[in-house]
Amino acid sequence: MASFYLIFYLIFFFLTPFSADLKQIQGEDEPYVGVNIGTDVSNMLPPSDLVSFLQLQNINHVRIYDVDPNLLKALAHTKIRVIIGVPNNQLIAIGSSNATAASWVDRNVAAFYPETDIIAIAVGDEVLTTVPSTAPVLLPAIESIYSALVATNLHNDIKVSTPHSASLILDPFPPSQAFFNTSMSQFLVPIVKFLSKTKSPLMMNLYPYYVFMENKGVVPLDNALFKPLTPSKEMVDPNTLLHYMNVYDAMIDSAYFSMKNLNVTDVVVLVSETGWPSKGDSKEPYATIDNSDTYNSNLIKHVFDRTGTPFHPEITSSAYVYELFNEDLRSTPLSEANWGLFYGNTTPVYLLHVSGSGTFLANDTTNKTYCVAMDGIDTKTLQTALDWACGPGRANCSEIQPGEPCYQPNNVKNHASYAFDSYYQMEGQAPDSCDFKGVAMLTTSDPSHGSCVFPGSKREGNSAPEVVNSTQVASEACSNPSRLLSSLVDSHVISLCTFSISLLFFQLVLWH
């Protein structure tokens, strides 16, 4: 049976018309992460201050839902790339008149380009699923905008597309069975053909949050948050045998397979919206700061890792995080007002952990992370890791000795957490220095307690942690009978003594 599946997969792989054109269509640009900017915000920043904030945060790609002339002027000469939008309420006018479309492009595009780097126009937003009555004018509006760009010779520099809701795709998992809603085929098929003809992206608003909420008990939370999965929890497409480690990639591939069913294989998916709310009402218990931080941090790293998707590993979709600011003027449910990375006053809602993902977003917690012991690890395994950290790892373990500030609570997990964090900070917070064979994890929550200040906290306070050779600490305890006697109750010191004595014996053997 296994050989049958292997043969089936190989046949599928080689006969499926993977398009080498996808990489060429994306061009030389590396995949990027941008942000959506909504304006339902109390005391919205003036355009000049908003642009300064974007530059401070190293945000180089933004999508706005309307055209604000003052903002477009402020973005001039900044190298920030912009997707501008045609609001849904303007589609009928633009789709019914080429002259109206030409006027719109002259007023909102040609007047600012190239000083302001407009890279695309999003015509409408989720029109086919939210305002289906406008569906008949969507393609005419897209074509009219494109024709106006051709007339001004901007069609090669500025792409034209329209963002779609993920709900437009039916039977999305497994991805190989996905297809666009056939009731919208008369509108959607010519739109996808237009995108292929003009080498424009398929814009998709993809929210694993909603997939998880609608399928609790079926879709694991970790799968929606990009967290590592055990093989038993991976989603496997039975038709292709492709393994999906996260919901996000599965949603992108469902779009690719849906286009493939229309015989279109040369259109790149651009994720025009994605994110996770940081606060919700009683019906949304998973809308939390921790989950929002985890999703967006992992999303950013996922895009910059450039691993593509299981179906198209050669192409990585760029993504726009929804959204820059919490839109506090939004109505219920509560989560509607809590998708932002920042509050309207530019204070971060939480500190993203995007270490190693370039300079995107200055509110990185690279210098505010701690390494601690995981929950649920057995004491013996933790003890082994602790012994290594305080011995060969040369972590500073003086603070967890009897009578010292971090000795209490006197348990292996507490002592291991301190030792792990000491080693992690000593190694410059290198991501692979917080592993200890899978028993440690990174956290943005300060584990300090009472008078016990963890090394990461000392670093934040700009007071360098005391560097003490833990082997020397153990040697001192072993050579000082009174200290050794007071330390015998602590198995950690005994382990260090054992290590120190073994090391001394090994040195004597070498000497002789």
Written as six digits, the tokens of 178 are 């996905």
What are residue 325's DSSP bridge partners?
342
- Contacts for 62-67 with beta carbons within 8 Å, 24 or more apart? 62/34, 62/35, 62/36, 62/37, 62/320, 62/324, 63/34, 63/35, 63/36, 63/37, 63/122, 63/272, 63/320, 64/36, 64/37, 65/36, 65/37, 65/38, 65/39, 65/122, 65/125, 66/39, 67/108
CA 395 to chain centre: 32
Secondary structure element (H or E) that encloses residue 36, with its range: strand 33-37
Integer CA distances (angstroms), 220 to 148, 217, 498, in order: 47, 7, 44
69 neighbors 355 (Cβ within 8 angstroms) = no
**Calpha distance 231→128 (Å, rounded):** 37
The number of CA neighbours under 13 Å toward the Cβ of 365 is 21
Phi, then psi, of 120 in degrees rounded to 5: -160, 160
Cis amide bond preceding 431, omega within 30 = no
Of 281, 289, 280, the residue nearest 349 (C-alpha) = 289
**Calpha distance 178→262 (Å, rounded):** 11
Of 278, 264, 227, the residue nearest 248 (C-alpha) = 227
Location of structure tokens 């038709």: 239
What are residue 37's DSSP bridge partners?
64
Which residues lie below 8 Å from residue 279, measured CB to CB, with a gap of 6+? 287, 288, 289, 334, 335, 337, 338
Instruction: Give the residue numbers marked as catalytic.
Output: 126, 273
72 neighbors 112 (Cβ within 8 angstroms) = yes
